[in-house]
Structure 1
């Protein structure tokens, strides 16, 4: 390997890493994803930017290692148990979505733009995929992962991962370097891929657990890390020996290890290598984007991004409707999955490296994929509002809403609105019931709703992020509202709307970060309870007690700490314009 590296390689690598570091720091300040920072850094110093990094062969070697680690991590996230649990969504909706989306994109590219067949299949297949990592991360952070439409989306993503696995097998065949007919190449590659899957599956089931148990006995972190690296690189080498993509072997090995008890340790050990090499991979992808071409054809890129999001949303929603889902559920699923994926970046990059894609096509396709990834978090966060608007625009009824609203007693008054029926919400509900205080609880998690109704609690499906739903809970007659929000911006928006519409009831906001206190109070909240701060005080008091300190020593310290944080002191609510303080009734 050393003889293939010229002296300037190390300086170019240093330049690339410095540009990546500066870009990540800048993009984090702007609250943009790190992946975009790496893409920007690669484009900035690459051959289409300032030309500071020009030796593509050497950077390509490191980027390929980054792709290997990316595919390995995606394999770890792939769950065979979840595949079986969501079998209807995976094999029903997933296969239908893939067939329809691939057909639409391939037809548009092949017949509409007269692209070559190989380029059409690679780009259409890449655009048909959605980002598993981004979607799952956003759904978890928004606490929507257990919702029905979210589970449908996860099922589709699992099928897409399987389809992408097939794509990694077929792209080398589309390069057409063997002189055989295309169908013969495809058949040959699929045969080799099948043999490889059997080998790696067998090794993952019977060989790898034994190896890891032996390594674990050594109680050496260094040996464990080295073992993981050797296994990843060995699987990549094996697939390359078969004439297939190295990423394929890494993905399959990740899937196998994702089912064993060492998964979390493996994931933690490879993180430093993965993060650095994945950064190099995304930077190398950015080096392939011709920014001059994007300036000249910016309208095409913007049109492609909009068309991609609209087409995928409509096609996936249509597929969900054909599977018997309601209009609202179908549209929300389509919006969540409207973006392209990191897998798409990998397939386009692989196609460009094997000369299946021309440079112009690769640059435009990469730019469209990246653009859709930029918009994806916003689409996922507001999928409900967008779907509601689309359903009303199409004249569709919002399913289940009227039935759900009928669960709210029409004469409900002097009650508590409790948004969030998790562990904290359930404890609050218990105290309210014990004291005979009426309440209505809201939660977006179907499982929690079932638990609450089984316990006899009045729990309805919904989120306090919707002001119209709060109004339907008879806010004008409520004694108090206890609200929990996904983000500070959402909390500010809803609390401001509540106050602007003239509601004067006290509002208690639960938040994790005490730094949000001032902004929430300014928006109109009466009390802000930072859960992390309060729980840390309880833990500190318990620790000192266990260490032998008496309550008379501990309590003044806790009280003094509370005094430093006015947001958790029990003070009166701010005065309203009429001079009242909204006291408890």
Structure 2
């Protein structure tokens, strides 16, 4: 077997195993690639010598990264967030660059080295931050909007830095001439691409798309991306700048989202290789000798960068709590930092030990970020005294709004699904109270007189203030399994008998959510497919009764609560006192039924059907006569009101 092929197989095996481990512990795959490079590189185990060919190939990973950045370049979004992007974002990047330039001059290094290092340290990880904020439902919160706005400016700042760094290694006047020439080239290239490119791009993509060939579409995509990158390189600029411009041009066409999906495998694969090559450059001997330098840079990256961002956010009018949360989210280094450091290394702008220490510090800062964000609430409460008052005021507002509510429904999330549910509850004269994390949505809905306030339903204090102890039901109206699991955990601890209905996108997490205590899980895809099937059958001439019967059978098989409800397709099911209804009974520690088999309790004699038994970590569908009831079990019963009252007495007090 050739040496290069064995090295490639070793690289692939190490990458797959490490990235799988990163996924299991919920760390970004990028860190796995960096670790693989460090482990198998020439300065650790030495399994693979640093390869010039691999490095050149990895450069295309940066090309595709910049291409996707161009695709996401959205003038409308920049305009809407211009105060945050060009105010807060520009102040953060400019402040970090000036600070590092000052430090470099103080240790007798050049301002060009300070610009390169400051630009790298100013960057944060867009992928990591957006994922963490999304998981915590904080993208629409004030600190989430600040973080996204700063990240947008950081991404834009990469473009001029990519242009400037290659020419900063020129001496004295030659550097100024090179910068002026680069600026002239950029103006010419932008003029030609944005004028001619926009006129040619849409018709050309239309022509290719009409051939209905996915292979041809992909070939054309690679041709356009790499072709424009090659043109900018010919003009003396970088490949990455050309890829960014290509992304901007395609973003203006209707093929943007298709292109983004098609290019992702190439980008992720080659970008992974780029991070592996970055890891391979780390010399553990040098890092061990200069651990103090790694520590200094890590202090600049985490505490100092967090403090700087928090201070700038406070200067722009944010509250202390919002400012600190913004800083905690953005304190780490980012993907583009490695790109800029690679350019600085190739141009000899930074000494090799400083380059090594900076790369190591960025990796450590990214490893620390998930833990910092996870504990950010506790840190903010410790550092910002006013945050206690703000939290107390918010909880007080929620409690006042719900003080008179009894038997209401708590709706977590006030998007389209939450609003539709709220309208139906209003028509049925059932009170509801909604919680949402989008301040603009809350403001508009509140102005319209609707019962919605700003609050995170995944927090115990907020749920209690929303009247969880007095509520009849709790509904998670947004499809986010991670957040729903938190809410289910809290609801189960506080009120195990309270029915919780959860919305999810598909059926992947249905069992997981039910085992966590959900009374029912509604999957969007299933309900959408049922509506699709019913319309299709009716348009094919199938009688309405047959269609309703078919849909009913599917729902009876899928949803536990629907079983046994329907006696006929045309039966009038208007609410009245004699009709069966659902009722939940929580077996507290002194309940008579604890320790007895379900079959030994004569509920059938009362015409009561046990629909489900909810128990922690047990599927809700396991209802059998030999099931021994335990403390904190929640029984969901179906029957008429009088019979349900009698069954509750038997279960709790005995015959």
For 1:59 and 1:464, locate their aligned partners in 2 and report how far apart those are by CA, in whole Å.
48
Say which of 517, 528, 542 aligns to 2:534.
542
Say which of 24, 31, 46 aligns to 1:29.
24
For 2:14 and 2:464, locate their aligned partners in 1 and report how far apart those are by CA, in whole Å.
50
Mark the runs of 5 or more structure 1 residues left unpaired by the alignment. Answer: 1-6
- Once the two structures are superposed, the pairs formed by residues 488-527 of structure 1 within 5 Å of their partners are 495-497=488-490, 503=495, 506-512=498-504, 525=517, 527=519
Deviations 1:174-216 (A, max 9, x none): 222x674544443333333333333333343223223223323
Q: In 1, are the aligned partners of 2:232 and 2:241 still within 8 Å (CA)?
A: yes
For 1:137 and 1:66, locate their aligned partners in 2 and report how far apart those are by CA, in whole Å.
21
Q: In 1, are the aligned partners of 2:307 and 2:327 still within 8 Å (CA)?
A: yes
Q: In 2, are the aligned partners of 1:404 and 1:461 still within 8 Å (CA)?
A: no
For residues 394 and 449 of structure 1, do their structure 2 counterparts lie closer, same or farther at Cα, with a shift above 3 Å needed? closer
**1:575 aligns to 2:568 (yes or no):** no
For residues 194 and 533 of structure 1, do their structure 2 counterparts lie closer, same or farther at Cα, with a shift above 3 Å needed? closer
**1:45 aligns to 2:67 (yes or no):** no
Worse-superposed segment, 533-542 or 465-474: 533-542
- Once the two structures are superposed, the pairs formed by residues 111-510 of structure 1 within 5 Å of their partners are 111=106, 113-176=107-170, 180-297=173-290, 300-301=293-294, 304-380=297-373, 383=376, 386-392=379-385, 401=394, 404-405=397-398, 408-483=401-476, 495-497=488-490, 503=495, 506-510=498-502
**1:19 aligns to 2:11 (yes or no):** no
Mark the runs of 5 or more structure 2 residues left unpaired by the alignment. Answer: 566-580, 592-631, 646-655
Q: In 2, are the aligned partners of 1:313 and 1:337 still within 8 Å (CA)?
A: yes
For 1:245 and 1:87, locate their aligned partners in 2 and report how far apart those are by CA, in whole Å.
28
Q: In 1, are the aligned partners of 2:498 and 2:584 still within 8 Å (CA)?
A: no
Relative CO higher for 1 or 2, CA cutoff 8 Å, sep ≥ 6?
1
For 1:18 and 1:418, locate their aligned partners in 2 and report how far apart those are by CA, in whole Å.
47
Q: In 1, are the aligned partners of 2:136 and 2:483 still within 8 Å (CA)?
A: no
The structural deviation recorded for 1:169 is 0.7
For residues 484 and 88 of structure 1, do their structure 2 counterparts lie closer, same or farther at Cα, with a shift above 3 Å needed? same
Aligned to 1:104: 99
Q: Secondary structure at 2:410's aligned position in 1?
A: strand
For 1:108 and 1:550, locate their aligned partners in 2 and report how far apart those are by CA, in whole Å.
74
Aligned to 1:85: 80
Q: Secondary structure at 1:408's aligned position in 2?
A: helix
Deviations 1:512-544 (A, max 9, x none): 376766766666x36242435763774586378
**1:559 aligns to 2:556 (yes or no):** yes
Aligned to 2:606: none
For residues 147 and 39 of structure 1, do their structure 2 counterparts lie closer, same or farther at Cα, with a shift above 3 Å needed? same
For residues 327 and 406 of structure 1, do their structure 2 counterparts lie closer, same or farther at Cα, with a shift above 3 Å needed? farther
Aligned to 1:95: 90
Indicate the RMSD between aligned Cα atoms, in angstroms.
3.6
Q: Secondary structure at 1:83's aligned position in 2?
A: helix
For 1:322 and 1:297, locate their aligned partners in 2 and report how far apart those are by CA, in whole Å.
36
For residues 193 and 385 of structure 1, do their structure 2 counterparts lie closer, same or farther at Cα, with a shift above 3 Å needed? farther
Worse-superposed segment, 505-514 or 122-131: 505-514
**1:56 aligns to 2:56 (yes or no):** no
Q: In 2, are the aligned partners of 1:545 and 1:554 still within 8 Å (CA)?
A: no
Deviations 1:234-289 (A, max 9, x none): 22222222333211111122122222212112222222322221121111111112
For 1:393 and 1:105, locate their aligned partners in 2 and report how far apart those are by CA, in whole Å.
32
Q: In 1, are the aligned partners of 2:30 and 2:272 still within 8 Å (CA)?
A: yes
Q: In 1, are the aligned partners of 2:164 and 2:179 still within 8 Å (CA)?
A: yes
What count of residue pairs does the alignment treat as equivalent?
Answer: 574
Q: In 1, are the aligned partners of 2:103 and 2:114 still within 8 Å (CA)?
A: no
**1:531 aligns to 2:523 (yes or no):** yes
Deviations 1:477-518 (A, max 9, x none): 333333468866655555555555x55661414153767667
For 1:167 and 1:494, locate their aligned partners in 2 and report how far apart those are by CA, in whole Å.
44
Q: In 2, are the aligned partners of 1:526 and 1:574 still within 8 Å (CA)?
A: no
For 1:577 and 1:408, locate their aligned partners in 2 and report how far apart those are by CA, in whole Å.
33
Aligned to 1:67: 62
Q: In 1, are the aligned partners of 2:417 and 2:478 still within 8 Å (CA)?
A: no
Question: TM-score by structure 1 length?
Answer: 0.86
The structural deviation recorded for 1:443 is 0.7
For residues 185 and 284 of structure 1, do their structure 2 counterparts lie closer, same or farther at Cα, with a shift above 3 Å needed? same
The structural deviation recorded for 1:352 is 1.4
For residues 387 and 77 of structure 1, do their structure 2 counterparts lie closer, same or farther at Cα, with a shift above 3 Å needed? farther
Q: In 2, are the aligned partners of 1:170 and 1:190 still within 8 Å (CA)?
A: no
Q: In 2, are the aligned partners of 1:328 and 1:399 still within 8 Å (CA)?
A: no
Deviations 1:35-86 (A, max 9, x none): 1121122222221222232243111110111111111111111212211221
For 1:515 and 1:216, locate their aligned partners in 2 and report how far apart those are by CA, in whole Å.
34
For 2:117 and 2:232, locate their aligned partners in 1 and report how far apart those are by CA, in whole Å.
23
Aligned to 2:600: none
Q: Secondary structure at 1:237's aligned position in 2?
A: helix
The structural deviation recorded for 1:444 is 0.6
For residues 564 and 515 of structure 1, do their structure 2 counterparts lie closer, same or farther at Cα, with a shift above 3 Å needed? farther
Worse-superposed segment, 448-457 or 334-343: 448-457
Worse-superposed segment, 527-536 or 80-89: 527-536
For residues 391 and 582 of structure 1, do their structure 2 counterparts lie closer, same or farther at Cα, with a shift above 3 Å needed? farther
Q: In 2, are the aligned partners of 1:301 and 1:368 still within 8 Å (CA)?
A: yes
For residues 306 and 214 of structure 1, do their structure 2 counterparts lie closer, same or farther at Cα, with a shift above 3 Å needed? same
Q: Secondary structure at 1:208's aligned position in 2?
A: helix
Q: In 1, are the aligned partners of 2:399 and 2:465 still within 8 Å (CA)?
A: no
The structural deviation recorded for 1:321 is 2.0
